[in-house]
Structure 1
Amino acid sequence: MASPTLAASGEASNRTSPATSITKRRTLGNGKHALEVSALGLGCMGMSYHRGRIPDKSVSIALIRKAYESGVNFFDTAEVYGPYTNETLVGEAIQPFRKDILVSTKFGFNIENNQMAGLNGRPEQIRKVAEESLKRLRTDVLDLFYQHRQDPNVPIEDVAGTVKDLIAEGKVRNFGLSEVSVETIRRAHAVQPVTAVQSEFHLMWHRVIENGVLAACEELGIGFVPYSPINRGFLSGMLNPQTKFFAENDNRAGLPRFQPDAMAANWPFIELLTDFGHQRGLTPTQVSLAWLMKQKPYIVSIPGTTKAAHLMENLAVADITISDADWKAFDDALGKLTVEGDRYTQTERSRVQN
């Protein structure tokens, strides 16, 4: 099934050259818990975890530093990425310019025998993770500390209260939540203002719009940080039904949406992105990221990559200009497509509220 053809309006797209830095900024949160960040951040997970063969450490450190030199000031990691190794990598990479950037990390899991072993949002666990993350990141404060997944056995008020105490102690600056419902956001925000909510969001996954999470963020002055903004690489057009994932360290190998039949059924999304982008000198990745940016001014995606060329491709998106009429035509075509396959396995799906 081919995607609808979209004609260009004649308005040229303006974007930076690959050597140009990202200069545009956006704000997550408000008041004393606002963070001014680069219009796109860098998700560092794939340098250590869940994205196939792991690059040499020196390559990843160089990439993180290149991102900084290119204007990125917002870097995302978590203790479970590795586990632990990604925080250690990021800590070493950002050390020369730590005071000039913002780093986010996450708590919320038990880790046993180097594996995730269930959820844990108890106050003592949050404190333990904070102390250990500070050491691995070689810093004295965490700029943004997310609850990675909500523990149903611990009231969110207890979680927010613990982070509030860590903020008062100077170990954390701001509180974040990941993959939570509107109710959870409101309850947490009433105890400790939430700076950002992180959830999967891209043009193949709209639940954060449909279930009111984005509206709640706008009402409460909370930023929104989409992870997997190009659907774990699928929306780049570089994956297809013949792709073989390195299953030892690539969770896509077991995800329903990345099985060959599902990828074949979802190929019209790639055709739409390719058609729309080709007429404007853009790659499918750039169209996907630009689509997210135009949704709301408080959205800051954190695309991950292990390659410098892809980093520069991503950062160029901040200066893309596409007319409202063109976006409407794109959205009209997008609305005619359907998605095949769940984004998570049943176990992983039970941990998210969106």
Structure 2
Amino acid sequence: MTHDASDLTFLIGSDLPVRRLGYGTVHLTGPGAWGPRGSDADAVAVLRRAVELGVTLVDTADNYGPDIAEERVAAALHPYAEGLVVATKGGVVRTSAQAWHVAGRPEQLRAMCDASLRRLRRERVDLYQLHRFDPEVPMAEQLGTLRELVDAGKVRHVGLDSVTAEQLRAALDLDLVPIASVQNRYNVLDRASEPLLGLCEERGIAFLPWFPLGNGALTDHQALTEIAAAHGATPSQIALAWLLHHSPVLCPTPGTGSLAHLEENVAAAAVRLTAQDMSRLDALTSRS
């Protein structure tokens, strides 16, 4: 599925342009996305630098912290620059670092969206992602609630997080609200979501891979290290460049609390992998 990675933009929902290499805010919070990480001033500095470097897609969630990541986004970036897309998520309540509770009832989703708007200091969320489907609530009820939020002017585009290709197809078949994006775990070594990626390509849906760097597991991989040396790059940059080359709908949003790592990640967009590089990387698996 290699393509020309020179096109580094994507239209979310066919009308919202973003640079495909964005920034994720999970590392502005502590281990397990619980509590703060670093100071507010450090978080503000990283977020502002991301925008200075040309990032136009910032991905966050109400339960990172909880609340902390959204509050830090607002502290750093409000009033928001024209063209800056802020994506957030709802549908999961956190009560500890290990305790995630799916909460997809209509009244819960409405309250979560309103709370995110307050924290982000926005009247409308650019991209509001259902963090998990609630198995206790019919899919049609959850999607119907998101449709209501769109109709109320509180949400521009709707996305889904951690779904299967079958779930996405079912959501599309219901046709209650357009699905502009999905967000699943995906990287050069972890391609369990390849069928979902194929469906996204067919339908023009953005795919925001989480753990695009394998949560740090890719930094000392032999193949990535060797290709990185040939390009004067780092293994992390090669892993991000592979995503940008692999599919035109992939929009990775790597997160970091470090200015140096942020600059390294953003610079990955300039790496041009050869056909030989891509062939070698495409052949990798979690066992290689």
- Calculate the TM-score normalised by the size of structure 2: 0.90
Residue 27 of structure 2 aligns to which amino acid in structure 1?
Answer: G
Give the direction of change, closer, same or farther, for the CA distance of 1:113–1:224 in structure 2 (3 Å limit): closer
Aligned equivalents of 2:169 and 2:267: distance in 1? 35
- Calculate the TM-score normalised by the size of structure 1: 0.74
After superposition, the C-alpha distances for 1:39-91 in whole angstroms (9 at most, x for unaligned) are: 21100111113269811110110110011111111111111101111111111
2:23 is aligned, of 21, 42, 61, to: 42
SS in 1 for 2:281: helix
Query: Which structure 2 residues correspond to residues 274-353 of structure 1 after superposition, within 5 A?
Result: 274-332=225-283, 334-335=284-285, 338=287
Question: How many aligned residue pairs are there?
Answer: 279
Ranges in structure 2 where 5+ consecutive residues have no aligned partner: 1-5
Whether the aligned pair in 2 keeps the contact of 1:157 and 1:187 (CA below 8 Å) is: no
SS in 2 for 1:143: strand
After superposition, the C-alpha distances for 1:203-252 in whole angstroms (9 at most, x for unaligned) are: 1210111xx11111122221111011001122123xxxxxxxxxxxxxxx
Whether the aligned pair in 2 keeps the contact of 1:157 and 1:191 (CA below 8 Å) is: yes
Whether the aligned pair in 2 keeps the contact of 1:109 and 1:116 (CA below 8 Å) is: no
Give the direction of change, closer, same or farther, for the CA distance of 1:299–1:114 in structure 2 (3 Å limit): closer
Give the direction of change, closer, same or farther, for the CA distance of 1:78–1:102 in structure 2 (3 Å limit): same
Q: 1:138 maps to which residue?
A: 121
Aligned equivalents of 2:138 and 2:150: distance in 1? 19
The answer on 1:202 being equivalent to 2:187 is yes
Residue 226 of structure 2 aligns to which amino acid in structure 1?
Answer: D
After superposition, the C-alpha distances for 1:82-115 in whole angstroms (9 at most, x for unaligned) are: 1111111111111033543111111112344898
Give the alignment's Cα RMSD to 1 decimal. Answer: 2.1
SS in 1 for 2:242: helix
2:66 is aligned, of 65, 83, 87, to: 83
Whether the aligned pair in 1 keeps the contact of 2:13 and 2:157 (CA below 8 Å) is: no
The answer on 1:92 being equivalent to 2:92 is no
Aligned equivalents of 2:96 and 2:188: distance in 1? 37
The answer on 1:26 being equivalent to 2:7 is no
Aligned equivalents of 1:58 and 1:89: distance in 2? 9
Ranges in structure 1 where 5+ consecutive residues have no aligned partner: 1-14, 16-22, 238-269, 340-354
Whether the aligned pair in 2 keeps the contact of 1:92 and 1:138 (CA below 8 Å) is: no
275-284 or 122-131, which moves further after superposition?
A: 275-284
